[in-house]
Structures are given as C-alpha cells and as structure tokens.
Chain A
Amino acid sequence: MSESNPYLGRAQRFVGLLKHCQVLGMQVIEASEQNLTIELPYNEQHVGNPSTGVIHGGVLTTLMDTACGTMVINALPEFELCPTLDLRVDYVRAAEPGKSIFAFAEAYRVSRHVVFTRCTVHQGDVNEPVANCVGTFMRIGSHLSPPDFKQAVLGLQGTQGE
C-alpha cells in the first residue's frame, strides 16, 4: 500500500502503538514534515474538576507529550525513538467542557543530540489557546531504536493495523 501522505501514516501508526493514547482516544488528523494535529474528543472520564467538568491538566500534558513526540519522529530523517527530556507547560485557560481539544505541534530545531518542539492546545481556534508547551527530546540514534517498533511505525509489517 503506497501512502499518499507518509507523515500522516507514520504518525497514526506511532500513536496507535501507545496504549494510553488509545485509552484516551487520540487521533492524528493532520501531519506534514513541518507540523501535525492530534484531536482528543471530550470524555467525562478525563475530568479533573467535577465541579466544572473541566478536563484534567494531565490529559493535556499527555496529549502535548504525544503530539511533540510524534512530531519528533516526522522531523527526523531516519526513525529514532527519542525519550522526552522535559516539558514546560502553561495552562492559559480552562478547556471548555463537551468540546474536542486539538494539539498542534512543531519541531522548530533538530540538532545533533536534541530535538526542540513546541505545541499549542486549542478548541478550534489556534489563536485562542488552552495550553502552550515546549518540549525537548533526546536523540539516542537510529541504531539504538528497537527494530520491531521501527518497522511497525514505518508500516513495514504486513500484520500491523490498517
């Protein structure tokens, strides 16, 4: 199967392999070499404040960590599994209950050892952010990245999901 957008396929397969992302219900809806967007529909199980129905910051943290980490995979010339070094998050306003949240991520600098990313979470208008984050990822080299995982993300295994 030749892919019309390899960045989207790679991102979707990567996120599909992360169990907790499936538990939350994340879906990669757009991806290119420059950026990607992941959607997370509202779910009452994600609520952190029962008084307001606002989803917990941890859900946003997980969404942003995933969006930045997936962006790292699309920004590198060869598949590398890069652990997160750190995340710095600003919670700008509470997410409106009942509406999807979208994470828009970019990798703004790829250096020899580190990939620098940033991400904005919004609910339809990127100029009205719910949260902003910057995250750095350590490059461990493609030779240290698990081959099975690499094949699954690159879609080289016939058995991996469509």
Chain B
Amino acid sequence: MSTFETILQTAHEQGDYKPVVDAIPYAKLIGIDFQRFGNDVIFKLPDNPNNIGNPILPAVHGGVVGGFMEMSAALHLLMMLDTPAMPKIVDFSLDYLRAVRGGRDTFAECQVIRQGSRVANVIINAWQTKREEAVATARAHFLLAP
C-alpha cells in the first residue's frame, strides 16, 4: 500500500500534483482539476450532471460543493507544506451563500490562516461566474502529522 506515498513523494520532488489528484478516487468521481500560478492555486469543479442535487434549478448538491472545498483545502496544504501524507480533516464549517448552479463550473481558492506543527486552519472560498460573488465559504482544521 505504499504506492500513494510514492506518488506523493514524486509530486513533492517534481512539483507536479496532477498524478496525486488522479490517484484519489473521490476527486475523480466528482471531477476536480486545478491550476497553479506560483504559490496561488485555483481549484475547479467542472460542470457534471452527476453532481446535481436539486433537479429543478438545477443546482449542484451542497454536499458536493462541500466535498470539493474540503478536497481543495487538503490538496492546497499538500502543495504548500510538502506533507508526507494526506492531511486529515478534523472539522469543517460551511456557509452556503448562493445557489450553486448546474451547467456552470465552480472554482475555489484556499488560504492557510494558521499553521502549527500539528494543525492547520484553512479558509476556502468558492465561486462560479464572479470571484467577488462567492457561492460558499468554509473554514476547516486539518491534522498534518500522520
């Protein structure tokens, strides 16, 4: 079961994290992508009919939005802190601000507010068409040490 660790280690050495995302089944299930701009990373949840909750609007399931933001935060920590394992989520607080429309891509960016030796505090903002018009905002704590 050391294959994922090997993928992680290679990613840290080469600075290419696409293989890490490809190796995470849940990331593939909902379809997470990202783009790095130096130390800035923008995560993307492409439009996907399988992610719909409310069929009337239609809207992306709120849980998928949460899962996307949570996964973005974990990957962000992985990239910024070179952690040897996936950070473990401790708690997550998620505010839904606007309907997350189906038929559109969703984006997220993360900010590490405080990083201790064992715990990191991260905030995550998600938007669709305009970055200033967030669809959801969240705060999470992660355990860094395995």
Contacts and interface: CB of A to CB of B under 8 A. Distances in A.
Given A19-B55, A83-B96, A90-B90, A61 B71 contact: no
A116 interface: no
A74 to B, nearest CB: 17
Contact of A48 (B1, B71, B90): B71
A81 interface: yes
A56 to B, nearest CB: 4
Given A51-B4, A57-B92, A89-B92, A62 B29 contact: no
The interface centre, meaning the residue of B1, B25, B88, B95 with most chain A CB atoms within 10 A of its CB, is B25
A58 B62 contact: no
Contacts of A59: 26, 63, 67
B25 A46 contact: yes
Contact of A84 (B29, B56, B67, B96): B96
Nearest to B98: A83
Interface residues of B, number: 42
B41 interface: no
Contact of A45 (B25, B66, B88): B25
Interface stretch (B9-17, B44-52, B108-116, B117-125): B44-52
29 contacts: A18-B55, A20-B61, A23-B51, A44-B25, A45-B28, A46-B26, A46-B29, A48-B24, A48-B26, A48-B86, A49-B4, A51-B1, A51-B5, A51-B86, A56-B24, A58-B30, A58-B66, A58-B68, A61-B66, A61-B70, A64-B63, A65-B62, A66-B53, A66-B63, A81-B56, A86-B93, A87-B92, A88-B92, A90-B91
